[in-house]
Amino acid sequence: MPYAIRIVLGALMLLVAPVGTTLGAGLLDQLQQIPIPSAPGGGSVIDGVGGMLGVDQKKLDLVKKGVQTAQAMQPINEEAERALGETIAVEAFRRFGGLYRNEPLTRYLSLVGRSIAEVTDRPNLNYHFAILDSPEENAFAAPGGFVFVTLGLLRALSSESELAGVLGHELAHINRKHMLNTLQRGSLLSNVTELSMAALDKDPKLLGSAVDQLSDLLFTRGLDKDLEFEADQYGLDYAQRAGYTPNGLRVYLQRLARKQGASRSVFFTTHPPVDERLQRVERRIAAMPKEPHLAILQDRFKRNMSAM
């Protein structure tokens, strides 16, 4: 495996926190009490295999080359989903500045993410949250539970409820399997009944081609706009279930709309027009049950951001 990728994966073992505990009521007041685990076995973060991402490094290299033969994969089940997501996660770090090495801020992002992941429709996925060291304002979700937020986006937010809105949107992409469903509808798998060892034996480059298509979809072309709208709707629901005001996403989109046309971020080429998203979000919020005392948490967000 190339040395640069080994460095990235080693750093992830220390700084990307998985969802590993059952989180009940009062989570919003307990976020700072959960530690980030250290590297497994006390070994070197470079030499460890798996780590916090659970990535088999040899498998990862094979997947990237499209010749994965270690084990059978059923029709894009969680095992196959995770194999795709692991490889795309490395691509996200390659394209967007690598890992932002800040343990307190990563802990905070991970714990806010946990609070929302626990109330999604797939709470048992092994979710991971990480910060990309890029000034560009963006966030990504890879299949299998991987969520990435750029440093530029974090700096553009003003409250924890806004962060919850962004994370809810990305978690919705994973929960609704937007990327996987798009892949299955495409020409690559049109003649393949399942993403299995039988299919890989017939075409050993199939998995590598799937990864390439998903990377292009995530980082270049973007998803269908209706899937982005759906991610907003579900993300609002997830944030509210976790105890955050859904207005957080609306406030962030309002701020983002003022930048449209002035920013060269890839965000604006991979997402629908912000004004259209904002209109739909506002209609959805107006129709949601009104719950008092939902969290905004502006001061706590600013305290944690001061760790940058």
195 falls in which pLDDT band (50, 70, 90)? low
Q: Sign (positive/negative) of CA torsion 202, 207, 213, 217?
A: positive
64-79 burial string, b = 16+ CB within 10 Å, else e?
bebebeeeebeebebe
- The predicted pLDDT at position 46 comes to 23
3-state secondary structure of 308: coil
Query: 213-264 pLDDT, tens per residue?
Result: 888 888 888 888 999 999 999 999 999 999 999 999 999 999 988 876 555 5
- The predicted pLDDT at position 14 comes to 33
Position with higher pLDDT, 15 vs 171 = 171
Contact (CB, 8 A) for 127 and 40: no
- The predicted pLDDT at position 24 comes to 34
Which residues fall within 8 angstroms of residue 187, CB to CB, at 6 or more apart?
none
Q: Which of 278, 236, 271 is nearest to 257 (CA)?
A: 278
Q: Which of 115, 98, 111, 82 is nearest to 12 (CA)?
A: 98
Q: Where are the domains of the chain?
A: 3-305
What is the spatial distance between Cα 112 and Cα 141, in angstroms, rounded to a whole number?
A: 15
Q: Which residue's structure tokens are 């994965």?
A: 68
Alpha-helical regions (H) of the chain: 3-15, 57-65, 78-95, 103-117, 151-156, 160-175, 178-185, 197-202, 206-216, 225-241, 247-257, 267-270, 274-287, 298-305
pLDDT exceeds cutoff 60 at 204: no
What spatial distance separates the first Cα and last Cα of the chain, rounded to whole Å? Answer: 31
What is the spatial distance between Cα 68 and Cα 203, in angstroms, rounded to a whole number?
A: 11
Cα distances (angstroms) measured from residue 73 to each of 198, 199, 261: 9, 9, 44
Q: Which two tokens stand for residue 79?
A: 């095992």
Query: 85-96 pLDDT, tens per residue?
Result: 888 888 899 999
pLDDT exceeds cutoff 70 at 166: yes
73 falls in which pLDDT band (50, 70, 90)? very low
Position with higher pLDDT, 22 vs 203 = 203
Q: What is the mean pLDDT of the chain?
A: 74
- The predicted pLDDT at position 44 comes to 26
Position with higher pLDDT, 61 vs 126 = 126
pLDDT exceeds cutoff 60 at 82: yes
pLDDT exceeds cutoff 60 at 50: no
Query: 168-177 pLDDT, tens per residue?
Result: 999 999 999 9
- The predicted pLDDT at position 270 comes to 60
pLDDT exceeds cutoff 70 at 116: yes
Mean pLDDT of 18-29: 40
What is the torsion angle, in degrees rounded to the nearest 10, for the CA atoms of residue 50, residue 140, residue 36 and residue 48?
Answer: 20
Contact (CB, 8 A) for 99 and 17: no
pLDDT exceeds cutoff 60 at 72: no
Tell me the pTM.
Answer: 0.74
β-strand partners of 146: 128, 142
What is the spatial distance between Cα 109 and Cα 115, in angstroms, rounded to a whole number?
A: 10
- The predicted pLDDT at position 78 comes to 77
206 falls in which pLDDT band (50, 70, 90)? low
203 falls in which pLDDT band (50, 70, 90)? low
